[in-house]
Amino acid sequence: MAIPITYNIRNMILRRGLTVMTALGIGLTVTTAVFLMMLLAGLKKAFVSSGDPLNVLVVRKGSTSELVGGFAKDKLPILRTLPGIALDSHGQPMVSGEWVVLVALPRKNGSGNVNVTLRGMEQDGIELRTRHAKLLDGRWFQPGQAEVVVSKSVQGRYSHTNVGDIIDFGKGPWKVVGTFDGGGSSYDSEIWADVNQVANQFNRQNAIGNVYLRATDPVAAQALKHRVSDDQQLQLEGALETEYWDKQTSSGGGIKVMGWIVGFTMAIGSIFAAANTMYAAVAYRSREIATLRVIGFRRGSILTSFVFESVLLALLGAIVGIVLMLPFNGMSTSTSNQATFSEVVFKMQLTFPVIGWAVVFAVVMGLIGGVAPAWSAARRDILAALRD
């Protein structure tokens, strides 16, 4: 015969002070874990959402990022003739030769200069990214002009980035002519300009950093990827844009390691807190437990009941922790991309998987913290308990 759930809930209410303190202790641990998981979820969304399954990125073989993927410019015309490439609004193959370089910009808060990604691209580079980038203010840059378009996030974080301002990097000044919204992707951390102007300003006229090809459909995208990689004369490597950006989430490895260390350390404390609470409950309800045994409840039922009560405490703590983190959902923060050494801006994300892992984390703490006290309660001698 199982002990009713209402029995556990009633006891938690009667010992509300101890229940609240234990739930808060578990909740603070869950808060820390959720905070770090939200960082990772936001970082992953920023990178993975940047990719389009129809875009194929071409870099030099062995390159780990666009920053180091340069190759001879004479290969670009060959890439334009590959089958399976979609046509742009002018009826031409939608191909964008690009350069990605780093420029140092001063923060608005005066805390120093930070590396920011400058992406030089052809006009098709804008067209094949229309799923992510929307012009908010001004206009797009013109070919052959030292003009830049900055993301809304860049505009909010760095000096001299408003429309009409002049930014100084490379060999001379650049005029800010527009602002765009990157839609929460990694493009929110970039500045865009004409590829030839970037090449001239940074002495890279005889090469191209990478090339983006827009495929007509997913099958053509896979074919383009393999066609580029298998061509021994080109010596280039093709990858779906989604695959490339997924690999860039390795920059969150440090956050993940820190999360495991901090979460594990705090979890140990919360497990002891839950165990102390349950041991106190066993001592306080000694005669009550003996009475339950006398009226016919088995040791297994008492063991299950006390473990369940510990899990209920942990779930209450999980709710507290998740609620405390709600105000941080969507908050912007930044980290350094270890592949490109530039700052990446992203928003913390309280997703359903994050909530699910938080609940699992709390339940595990409750189980570990509740088993020993529950076993102690189930094994108590009836006569000795009645005399307590």
The better pLDDT of the pair 362, 92 is held by 92
CB atoms within 10 A of CB 54: 21
H-helix segments, 95-217: 123-127, 152-157, 195-201
pLDDT of residue 50: 66
Question: Given a cut of 90, is residue 377 above it in pLDDT?
Answer: no
pLDDT in tens, 113-144: 888 899 999 999 999 888 778 999 999 999 98
Structure tokens at 311: 């899990």
* Residue 6's pLDDT band (cuts 50, 70, 90): confident
The angle subtended at Cα 22 by Cα 21 and Cα 28, nearest 5°, is: 90
pTM of the model: 0.71
Answer for the pair 376, 279: CB distance below 8 angstroms, yes or no: yes
C-alpha to C-alpha distance for 186 and 189, rounded to whole angstroms: 6
* Residue 98's pLDDT band (cuts 50, 70, 90): very high
| Mean pLDDT, rounded, of the chain | 81
C-alpha to C-alpha distance for 85 and 213, rounded to whole angstroms: 7
Q: In this predicted structure, which of 41-45, 292-296, 303-307 has the lowest mean pLDDT?
A: 292-296
The better pLDDT of the pair 99, 244 is held by 99
* Residue 33's pLDDT band (cuts 50, 70, 90): confident
Mean pLDDT for the stretch of residues 205-214: 91
Residue 352 CA, chain-centre distance (Å), reads: 13
Question: Given a cut of 80, is residue 369 above it in pLDDT?
Answer: no
Structure tokens at 361: 């984390």
The better pLDDT of the pair 101, 370 is held by 101
| 176 three-class SS | strand
Q: Which letter, b or e, does each residue of 76-104 get, where b requires 16 or more Cβ atoms within 10 Å of its Cβ?
A: beebeebebbbebeeeebbbbbbbbbbbe
| Cross-strand partners of 3 | none
